[in-house]
Structure 1
Amino acid sequence: MRISQLFSLFFKFSELSAENVLYHFKDDTVILPCYQFLNETIVWQGPGNYSTYGIGKIIDPKLSKSKRLSIIHVNGSLQYNLQIRHFSSEDEGQYKCIRGGSLKGVKEEFFNLTIGTRPSNLTIVEADSQHIVYGYLNRVLDLSCTVIHGIPKGKLVWMVNNKILEEKTTALLVYSFKPKQDDHLKNYTCATKSIIAQYVMERTVQLFVYMPPIVSISYNKTLDIFEGEALTLYCNYSSNHKVKGLKWQKMLPHKSPLDEQSPYLNIKSITRQNAGKYKCTVTNMASIASDFVTIDVYYPPKVHIKFEEHGHYRQLNCLANGVPDQYIFTQWEHKSDYYDLIRYLPDDGSGRLILPNIKGETDRHHDRGFYICQASNNVSLNGSSSFVRGDFFLNSPGKPYFVTSNNNTQYGIKDQVGNLTVNFVSFPEITKFTVIGVDKIHPNDNHTLETWRVIDKVYNKTVFVNGSRLVISMYIRNESDFRSYTIKLRNKFGSANFNISLRSASCPETPEIMKIMPKTSKILIQWRAKFHGGFPQSVVIQYRRRDVQYWNEIPVSGPGMQIDSIDGLTSGTEYLIRIYSENIKGKSNFTDVKLIRTGSTKVSDNETLVFFVLVVPFLISIGVLYWQYKKGNVRALERISCFKRQQFIYEVGVGAVENNVYEMQNNVEQHAVAQNAVAQNLDVPVYSSIDRRANLTIGQTVSYSTTPKRKRNYLEKRKENRASVGQASGTVNSATKKGPDRLSYIEVSFEPNPNEYKFYIHGSENRTNYVDIDFSKKVSSYADSHRESDDDSIPQACAMQNYE
């Protein structure tokens, strides 16, 4: 075969082998067409590497889906179409129709079947729940239509009155335009187009166009009227939606606010101040529209005031200009910057007012303010007054001064930023200010200075004047900052001083628990009050059993370093303790909660035993020695060598013994508090002495070490507290500490569970049993304090208040 023939065959084969991509929905009935050529048998192949589905009109029965497949052929027809019922994902893939039996006559047609999906969520973004879109006249409006595409992707179309405005294959189609008047209330439709069947989704919205109002005033643009006559103006407007506002405004030459908010502006009796241009403004969602009218008023004379400076005095002249040119003047009015009346001043009959420079008053700017005169030429319209007013604002410079409304006593809170605040008047403005304390000049970097409406007494009249407020911030570190301060202001005319006493006004600070000493049926508490907050404070102790929810309160004695007791407690019981302070401003925070266990009865018995075994004989020996000394038997004292060598340590009237005995006494106290003795009867007692200079291990059961260590002496504290408790009041006074509160001790270690003998700690004399050891129990740790959360409320801290 020639090359040209092969190329021609390849070209035709490629042309005929083009793939047809077809989309169908699930469960559809799909028909793939195929025409017979040369009267040869048709072969259909499908997914699964072009497996043979059918030959001629016969479907391969071995196919799992053969019951859903069939070849549609009408006798005499050339079509052998493959029909697939209940189309599913199993049917997706490549299909091929083979026509002709020899290579020369073979022609194939390819199909690619894909499951299609419908588009969803067609939405017009700008539409509200009533399917309305709002736009503004002659402003660009975007109509946005979105869709979630199906398979295959379709098109979005914007239409109005079945006319296509815009069409595009996209998931978001935006149609932008400027609405006109005739677009108002038109319906706009967004629709989808799909190549699968004839499926179309659409959404329709109505366009509401906001249009500006149309405004006109029913009168001519210029109106003439005599003073005293009634004037009515009407604002005529129209709007296609709700009006947001309507207001009348008075324009030049005499601008003044108007309260009229209705279409009618009524002036019952017009005056010369009413002359000028009036504007009616209507506002709606779209825009603002206005219309104007000018009112010319004929009125009695105009009045103004002329000011003259003459050194020792100042002069104000009331000038009138009207017809006739003969005037009557009334008394003058003096008003503050805020138009508060200060005083009336007499007129000399010519409309002239003299203001002398009075020492002191002028320095305080009291002549500053508005001066008003009234003049009349006896022209009265419609029965109104014939007097016309004129005013003038007089500026009166001088040295600064502090207004009468200042407070000499101001308040702050310790450990917070406080303010020293003064109101003053200064024209011109101050150039410098200084804050002087008792012993130093405070920096004034942290301050604010602003114009302020202040209250002052001017010529014995309390009014608002235009002044300034100076606020100086300072951090109050300690109580010494509550003292007197002097604020000094200066401008180019001079200076002025003002004294402020800064006082505290806050809740008290949280007191501090110094020491807690548990006894059998009570607990001694040593505490110290902190800063009182500026007011007398009282301290309250709260306590409760650990297993009880509610707190008990005990008001205690005055502030300072104090010792108080909580009586009537149960021995061997854990209690929670906390303290707070309060004054007239409120309560402080609670201290940390302390967990304390009262002593058991066994502890009390051991203390008594120690007292009688060790202390009483010692006191008796001291008494005997003192009796020998009084009899003059000094040699008897000298023969007692321990009197010369041994040091005695007194603490609240009780003497201590030599260190090795003291160590034993301390261990007796601690083990008596921490453990409950469990007695056992052993037939064979075994004793082992402890040498303080060596270490010993007794088998694998017990060992000890005499390495010198220091440990808190709870026995000393209990003796100290017991000696200082007041019997009558139930409280204790501070006791003077005369002995050490830490002791050397010996550590004795036992096996967790000895299997032969029960161990005891005995004294060196007569094998006195000091401590029984129960290996079945665990020692509780008696710490000075233990934090424990509870759901009780914490006293609310004082809210900081500003005092001016």
Structure 2
Amino acid sequence: MRISQLFSVFLAFSELLAVKVLYHFEDDTVILPCGQLSNETIIWQGPVNYSTYGYGEIINPKLSKSTRLSVIHENGSLQYNLQIRHFSSEDEGHYKCIRGGSLKGVKEEFFTLTIGTRPINLRIEEEDSQNIVYGYLNRVLKLSCTVIHGIPNGKLVWMINNKTLEEETSALLVYSFKPKQEDHLQNYTCATKSDISQYSMERTVQLFVFMLPIVSISFNKTLGIPEGEDLSLYCNYSSNHEVKELKWEKMFPHNSQLDERSPYLNIKSINRQNAGKYKCTVTNMAGIASDIVTIEVYYPPTIHVTFEDRGSYKQLNCLANGVPDQYIFTQWEHRSDYSDLIRYLPDNGIGKLILPNTMGETDRHHDRGFYICHASNNVSLNGSNSFIRGEFFLKARGKPYFVTSNNNTQYGIKGQHGHLTVDFVSFPEFKNISIIGGDMINSSDNYNLETMRIVDKVYNKTVYVNGSRLVISMNIKNENDFRSYTIKLSNQFGSTTFNISLRSASCPETPEIMKIMPRESKVIVQWRARFHGGFPQSFFIQYRRRDVQYWNTIPVSDPRMHIDSIDGLTPRTEYFIRIYSKNIKGKSNFTDVILIKTGITNDSDSENLVFLVLIVPFLIAIGVLYWQYKKGNLRALERTSCFKRQPINNEVGIEGVENNVNEMQNNIEQNPVAQNLDVLVYSSIDRRAHLSIGQTVSYSTTPKKKPNYLEKRKVNKASVGQASGTVNTATKKGPDRLSYIEVSFEPNPNEYKFYIHGSENRTNYVDIDFSKKVSSYADSHRESDDDSIPQACAMQNYE
């Protein structure tokens, strides 16, 4: 048998066994798939003469191209795919996968690999050098695409926006269609398509469509113009290419060409003989287009608006008079005194408007204002809007009302002058104003009235209206002035009221320290809150050691509690203490600075011992003296007193302290017996003694020495325990050391003078002036204490 016959037999056999012919470009990576049908090992064979390429996953090492071959298999998979890298002519030929199995026809799978070539010379016949193809609107256009195919022979495809228009297995593909207006400047693509690649070559052209001009003289095909005015027509046209000709024609009584070649047609002082149809014609490469307009010479209407009050309803009439006597009425406009648009109201079609009765609006004479109608007979004045307007001002009347822009809540600041402000409308004018609240009932001296433009919401539209502004002046003395006030206005139609709630808007007032109780390593502080300024306030305790410049701040977690403690202090150490409060407006001033000294121990037994040893005998002595006084034995009391008769204040204690610290502040409570004394009290200052007489005065005279800083010393008025004032007075001055006695007074005597007498004949040594103010404690370290200055609170007055 000859070789050609053998080849024919092989081809027939290949077709019988469904040989897969595959094309790949050189240097591609080729993968031939083969799936296992049984447990037998797959064998790959290939050119030449079906040589064994692979057994299972093993590649035949004797092959010259074995390094480019591999069998791809994943564990658990039945696929044993042959991979050929860097595909070349050496790899062309027939491949076979032997899979095993019971059926002979499925035991083997055949493949034929062939090197493919790419197509060349892809062209679009109609394109120019700018890749543009030209066509005419609604005329047949043919787009021709040619190519020299490669191997295998592929297809040609026409596409637009990735959408296939036409496809054919040929070297020439012609796409015929009639371009539409939307096809102008669209991109058309011709591409090759084969089994090797989807689109291996492509070429794109842009379609330029020649279109007829678009001509428009006027949106309205019939135009009315007042007689005697100048007529100006404009031939508005568009063309996507050059225009060859533009001309105007008059189409009555016979067609006649006008001597106009521009888009404008102007007729001076038009008259009725010029009425008729006018035609504009434009010509370009694609053809001719034109537009016609009819000119009617009319005179516009005049508008007159009348008002009818029919009791149950109110009616406005828009009366028009013109030629032609056919009118179009638009919706009515309701505008405020200042021409602000309030609402649109529908016309009934013949120029009449019935005002609706709207509860809450009409009774507040919100119907007041301008009512504007528009009518047209399609005649415009000098090119303006053909609708002519007419207007009528409706003067609505009724009881006064307060405008919606008023604030029911207004703000002021305690201790300052403020005012309440309300705007209202009253037609006719009001007769009486009543102000109810505080001391301002019917007081005409407390307010000012000004007629002005005010803001109101009329029919749900915010506009300006004519009204009046009432400003009520007031002096905000205390918290009781922050309350509700009622303003009542009356005119001949009735009266109306408006409520204003005046609220505070300021920083809180400075709190007041009531008691400070030192312990060994902490201090308990109790204070009294003052006016909060109109907002929730919180409190802050500040403290520092006397020899330290900077303050520590402790925020009080619960603003309802007016007692807190400072923990972690050093025993037997002097500390400055102050408090301030804060709200959303800012901070209050600081309280006066208080100097305290922490104790030795906070053991309750020690405190009880001190009470038994010191306080109880003292109370007994006071009781005996008081009993002697009641019996009339005054001398026994005078021997222990250096004061003239003065009342003893029962509210707050006065104490004397040594070196700015009174031991009573640390350990000794007030004498309850002495608090009730109302006798002539004298007490001698004995340098060996420490004495507290009720809540009037206490002192400590234990000799102590300090450097003489007298020239730099400042006097501090502060509150210790229940005492709120301390005066430091030097009693002896040496060259460089100073001995001194400190005496604390509180409250200020209000009926008797306070004196310091001599011990023998009660000679007045010192007069105490309680009207003077003193600054806080100071020593050489306080000069750099900048943050101790009370912070001013910036307040804003609200209207």
TM-score class, shorter-chain normalisation, is 0.3 to 0.5
- Superposition TM-score, scaled by structure 2 size: 0.44
- Superposition TM-score, scaled by structure 1 size: 0.44
